[in-house]
Amino acid sequence: MTTAQTVEPTDLTQPSRKRTLVIIGLMLGLFFASLDQTVVGTAMPTIIGQLGGIELLTWITTAYLLTSTAVVPIAGKLADLFGRRVIYMIGMGIFIIGSALCGMAESMTQLAVYRAIQGLGGGILMPLAMTIIGDITTGESRAKMQGMFMAVFGLSSLAGPQAGGWIVDHWHWNWIFYINLPFGLLAMVFIALGLKNVHVKKEVIIDWAGIGTLIVGIVSLLLALSFGGNKYAWDSVEILGLFGLAVVSLVSFVFVELRAKDPVIPMGLFKNSVFTSVNIIGFLMSLGMFGAMMFIPLFMQGVVGMSPSQTASVMTPMMLGSMVASIIGSRLLLKIGLRPQLIIGMGIMLIGFILFLTLGLETTQLRASLYMIIMGAGMGMIMPSLGIAVQEAFPAEIRGTVTSATTFFRSIGGTVGIAVLGTLFNSKSIEMIGTKLDMTLQSFGPQGEQLLDMAHNSPQGLYSSLLSDTFLNGLPQEVAGMFSTQVVPVLKDALLTSIHSVFSIAVWFLAAGLVAAFFVGKVKISGAKAKPTKAEETIKAEEAVQS
């Protein structure tokens, strides 16, 4: 238990120059922190082509999500203890340092480690931005301001794929990280000038036991899912040990939370059917969303042969569909209610993933874009509804806790989802490539020995030939010609089959999310017009006759 020092009270709930500086700083931080979650996807095929290490593809995103997810539950508590400004500034500093290191990465392993550092900063910035907005706004202005911040988040998601493709085509891939530096520093200046330490609690207890067991459990689970069937056999001592550690840690986490005075995630919340079902839906939705973002660019560039900027043009409609559906969905929610809206949203996402299974070698940019719009529309119907549901289902005094918990489970969904889908992708690639290329590469003679060794020990590395001309340019001319005509078709078929297997599994997860949507409890949405009772209808009819 720690007692915080009294700080100078500052009223930023009224419009002022300082409040404007804070809002601009928060918007800059939120824009670039969320931009980094989407800008990397489009650039990843090019990065793989230069750095290699396609087997670490999923860890570039997983590392960021893992650390950012782990820090979310403690970011708010640290801000309560030490003040919003100092924790936000630390978060932005870590994010800037991580971005600079990512730009200097010389291998996929380094990039994954630096993305983990960047994720620590991003995990502090995202929840703290909404906390600060809650501090400096009240009533109607709070709702309007949160709407503006959702628009900024949507804009960054929309601009991310396009910016990533443009930067890769015209500059160098490291600039997708370097661009964060000047704007991050500018955001820090604005926050430093405008924000004081507001709403600091006198007593804060940090649940270190809960945080520790949760992190160990999640990391062990992700490592087991990522390395199983790849580096180690599923029944190996290493993988079984990681799964065992995950189970022990997560069970310990539950027991610790049941006894903790100020738990990270109060277990009693799960008694509420709305909280439980909403978090299940959020988990499964994030799995599908990140699955599309991770593998669609790889499909468009590796199988269809599009450029990074063309791929970005395919990804952009998903975000555009999401933004439009979010605006429509927020109004539709008041008319049809929470459960029908979540059912419709999950149903649309499920249709989108089923359509992804029809993508093939002859897929056009227009066709892929239409499917992405459908996916985005489903996401847009769901995302604003989840937060509103838990906020309306619980009293104001625990609204912050349930909102952060919902954010946490969505992040976990994306993190676990990428690990699971990435493991499936890697194992399917090994199965497809290893045996099919034996006879073909043996016909290359002595010059094919290195390629044959790669096909057996690191078959995914051969995908680099689909993503970068550098691979083919490094081969002798006669070998390059044979490779293009005999090996590349096999690689494209293997890549397509592997990606289809990922979407096939994702379809089942989304189908489970659709089923969960039917079990969402009734939630009365503030502002929704209640259906009049028969007595009220009778009174209105009598009044109309008398008038």
pLDDT of residue 541: 39
pLDDT of residue 32: 73
369 with 317: CB under 8 angstroms? yes
Q: Which amino acid is at 413?
A: G
Dist. CA 85–CA 188, nearest whole Å: 10
Q: Which residues of 297-322 are buried (b: 16+ CB within 10 A; e: fewer)?
A: bbbbbbbbebebbbbbbbbbbbbbbb
SS3 52: coil
Residue 28: how many CB atoms within 10 A of its CB? 21
Residue 101: how many CB atoms within 10 A of its CB? 17
Dist. CA 330–CA 341, nearest whole Å: 10
Q: Which amino acid is at 265?
A: I
Per-residue confidence of the chain (547 residues) as pLDDT tens digits? 444 443 333 455 555 677 788 888 888 877 777 776 666 766 777 777 777 766 666 677 778 877 887 787 777 667 766 777 888 889 999 999 998 998 888 888 888 889 889 988 888 887 777 777 766 765 445 545 655 666 666 666 666 666 666 777 777 778 878 878 888 888 888 888 877 765 455 566 778 888 888 888 877 887 787 677 667 777 889 889 999 999 999 999 999 988 888 787 788 888 888 888 888 888 888 877 766 667 887 888 778 877 766 776 777 777 777 777 877 776 777 778 788 888 999 999 899 889 988 888 888 888 888 888 898 888 878 877 777 777 677 765 566 567 677 777 887 787 777 777 877 887 777 777 766 676 666 666 665 666 666 666 666 666 666 666 666 666 666 666 666 777 777 778 888 888 888 888 888 888 998 998 888 877 666 554 444 444 444 434 344 334 3
303 with 496: CB under 8 angstroms? yes
Measured at the alpha carbon of residue 26, what is the angle toward residues 25 and 29, in degrees to the nearest 5?
85
Dist. CA 446–CA 437, nearest whole Å: 15
Angle, in degrees to the nearest 10, between helices 139-170 and 108-136: 160
pLDDT of residue 10: 45
Dist. CA 198–CA 218, nearest whole Å: 33
pLDDT of residue 234: 77
70 with 412: CB under 8 angstroms? no
Residue with tokens 């738990």: 263
Give the DSSP H or E segment for 203. Answer: strand 203-204
What are 505's two structure tokens?
């599994």
Question: How far, in Å, are 464, 477, 478, 491 from residue 474 at the CA level?
Answer: 12, 9, 12, 18
Nearest alpha-carbon partner for 457 in 437, 483, 484: 437
